[in-house]
Structure 1
Amino acid sequence: MRALVARLDSFGDVLLAGPAVRAVAARAEHTVLLCGPRGAPAARMLPGVDQVMVWDAPWAGFQPPAVDRTDVDRFVDDIARLRVDTGLLLTSFHQSPLPLALLLRLAGVPRLAADCADYPGALLDVRHRRAPRAHEVRAALDLAEAAGFPLPEGDDGRPAVTEPPAPGALVGEDGYVVVHPGAAVPARRWGTERCTAAVRELVRAGYRVVVTGAPEERELTAAVARGGALDLGGRTGPAELAGVLAHAAAVVVGNTGPAHLAAAVGTPVVSLFAPVVPAERWAPYGVPHVLLGDERAPCAGSRARVCPVPGHPCLNGVSPEDVLAAVEKLTGRTPGLDPGPERMERTERTS
């Protein structure tokens, strides 16, 4: 059997699809992961993926392309050449799988499964309804099981990536704290001055701090690292970043892709979580973590990319001392903060 798993969103979304991909791959002879351009680097790191296919869909992403008949026809032809037997269409709770399902039907895919609240007509063979408030990882696994792909015995159902390269001389000895100040959308960023102050607080407490960021974030990481940290801004690709995160004692990061990458390599996360999307669906999964931020802020559930509330109160109420206390809790340095069960979670193993 040849299978296709689709997740057309961003880097972190594709990482969260990883356990469902493994479930499919355990029963398929060949597994294709269909993703968008922003998710492609994550797709190439997932265990179980035999082939990555990248398509910039006109209904997905932050800046989707215009609808182009030639491009759509080319995509349908490319899918047809894959000759897949079944497709698992993974989406967030607010997205519809039906546009993609229509194109896959045109390409001749005989069996399709998806979470779908809308009437699918002849587009889906398995129309699944996700459990209310389910985390993205759990929702994808539930859909995979409904489609005939339960997790194989011994798989813990947590996000994972292939073995990343060791950071070596890039960071020195293990046990440092990573601060990742950037995020794909402004509403999820804490702010340069606050990140810099948190770095100073961590350094004063005796932690060695490493600041990470994408090439386009070099100015940001340089400013934050002035608090006494090593600046790796622009110096790590996705695989190298995974290696840096894997050898850290904890990671301080917003609700963005590197938070899920840290979870995928098993590193505890201090999550500066703007509640524009619900934490129950998007918090770091499967690792100890502390959520910092006002979950009752007026922006909650808005899915806003730019903060709609003056002063960005959901994150600006977090202090550098809060971050230090959370890091101490996760690293076991001091009794520190007791975040309570709703703030810190170690996901139970599943099989």
Structure 2
Amino acid sequence: MSKIAKQLAARLFLSLWQVTGYRVKKIDRFSEQDDLKNIAIISNTALGDFLFNTPAIGAIKKRWPDARIILVIQPRNHALVAESEMIDKVLYWDGKFPGMLPLARALRNEQVDATFILHSRTPYDIVTASLARSKYIFKDVYYADYQGKENFILAGCLSAFYDNRKNGNIHLIRQKKDMLTAVGIDVPSDAMFIPAPFKRQQNTVPVIGIHAGASSSERCWPEAFYSQLIEKLIALHDDLIIELIGAPGEKALNQRIIDGMGISSDRVINVAGTTNLIQLAEKISGFATLVVGDTGPLHLAVAVQTPTVALFSNQSTIDGAAPLQDPHLHQVLRPAEEQAGLRAISCNEVYEAVERNLAQR
């Protein structure tokens, strides 16, 4: 079934669902008198998406400090919210059809007053919130959700609809900010953060982190360039350690980079697959700088205020996902000729950016 067909089917189903007496409550803006007791927040996509949503999560909690917050996330992001004082309950959902009914039952048991869908899968997210009988439903509607149509098919199933297309290609953090501001929720900060408590790592010598992987090949700087960069850093810094981080599946990638070096050094370490996400955040917090593409560990580094050399393939992705907070900490690089991709960023450009960050220590 096409995405448009799924949205049309969902709209038909939700119109029939009204025979049960359920109607989503419409609103222009929340007033000071609007008191929500139980709030569901759905952010169950990738790591970076979740971190982009933390300023919005913080703003919702600040607006209703006494409300119970039920957070719906991907299981793999669990460590980032475990033991968080902001979150009262965590539920897990991969955003797919089979998990809708179990999640709807769980949310219905929580007697949810409002559901804020910050990033999930259309139309399953809206249907799930409706089955849970959430009084209010809000959703950050992405360009892809329109499927080329003038209007969002499920706009009538939301409490309020904010069309972010009028602002063009804005940063994803500010996209959430605009959506919440439109309904009377102030978002005082653009700064991402880790909801769970973590211990900042202290290293006795400078450690450079490298994350070479990404979800797609166009986000990856060439392996040979990483090998050259590491060689140069090791040769010019006697006390420097290089740690190549990543998920278990990126261990082989890191090893290829190490094997591609013209020298051998015990100061270059492959640590992929050795941490969960909160441990990774702790490790990154101790780096002198992190060299990374447009992927989750970049946003972890931004959240823990670690300097980065961030490699982006084009200006559009910079506009939507580059670091907003602490601009002095981040060297954002892109190719002069975007059609050439990341391979058009030279090893020397990245090396000089690393040196600029090291000079600020």
**TM-score with structure 1 length normalisation?**
0.77
- Match of 2:192? 159
- Match of 1:245? 284
**Map of 1:143-182 to 2, 5 A cutoff?**
143-151=179-187, 156-161=189-194, 162-167=196-201, 172-173=203-204, 175-182=206-213
**CA distances 1:33-85 after superposition (whole Å, capped 9, x unpaired):** 21234444444487622222111123xxxxxxxx44xx432222122112111
Kept in 1: contact 2:337–2:344 (CA 8 A): no
- Helix, strand or coil: the match of 1:104? helix
2:315 and 2:111 map into 1 onto residues whose CA distance is 39
1:174 and 1:280 map into 2 onto residues whose CA distance is 34
1:97 and 1:147 map into 2 onto residues whose CA distance is 21
- Match of 2:116? 88
2:72 and 2:284 map into 1 onto residues whose CA distance is 26
- Match of 1:27? 63
Higher helix share: 2
1:141 and 1:295 map into 2 onto residues whose CA distance is 31
Which residue identity does 1:101 align to in structure 2? I
Identity of aligned residues (%): 23
Q: Structure 2 unaligned segments of length 5 or more: list them.
A: 1-36, 142-150
1:164 CA drift (Å): 2.2
Kept in 2: contact 1:196–1:224 (CA 8 A): yes
- Max radius of gyration: which structure? 2
- Match of 2:100? 72
1:2 and 1:208 map into 2 onto residues whose CA distance is 47
1:87 and 1:193 map into 2 onto residues whose CA distance is 46
Out of 36-45 and 23-32, give the one that drifted further: 36-45
1:101 CA drift (Å): 1.5
User: Relative to structure 1, is the Cα distance of residues 149 and 50 closer, same or farther in structure 2, using a 3 angstrom cutoff?
Assistant: farther
The answer to whether 1:318 aligns with 2:345 is: yes
Q: What's the RMSD between the two structures over aligned residues?
A: 2.6
- Match of 1:310? none
2:301 and 2:84 map into 1 onto residues whose CA distance is 14
- Match of 2:33? none
Which residue identity does 1:157 align to in structure 2? D
1:35 and 1:246 map into 2 onto residues whose CA distance is 23
- Match of 2:41? 5
1:204 and 1:179 map into 2 onto residues whose CA distance is 17
1:331 and 1:234 map into 2 onto residues whose CA distance is 26
**CA distances 1:121-151 after superposition (whole Å, capped 9, x unpaired):** 5411121122322211111122223333313
2:169 and 2:153 map into 1 onto residues whose CA distance is 21
**Map of 1:28-47 to 2, 5 A cutoff?**
28=64, 29-44=67-82
1:85 and 1:230 map into 2 onto residues whose CA distance is 49
User: Relative to structure 1, is the Cα distance of residues 202 and 45 closer, same or farther in structure 2, using a 3 angstrom cutoff?
Assistant: farther
Which residue identity does 1:107 align to in structure 2? A
**TM-score with structure 2 length normalisation?**
0.75
User: Relative to structure 1, is the Cα distance of residues 42 and 166 closer, same or farther in structure 2, using a 3 angstrom cutoff?
Assistant: closer
User: Relative to structure 1, is the Cα distance of residues 277 and 57 closer, same or farther in structure 2, using a 3 angstrom cutoff?
Assistant: farther
The answer to whether 1:50 aligns with 2:88 is: yes
Q: How many residues align?
A: 301
- Match of 1:348? none
1:317 and 1:27 map into 2 onto residues whose CA distance is 46
**CA distances 1:76-132 after superposition (whole Å, capped 9, x unpaired):** 2122112111111113xxx87544122211210010122345143541112112232
The answer to whether 1:14 aligns with 2:53 is: no
2:336 and 2:174 map into 1 onto residues whose CA distance is 21
Kept in 2: contact 1:218–1:234 (CA 8 A): yes
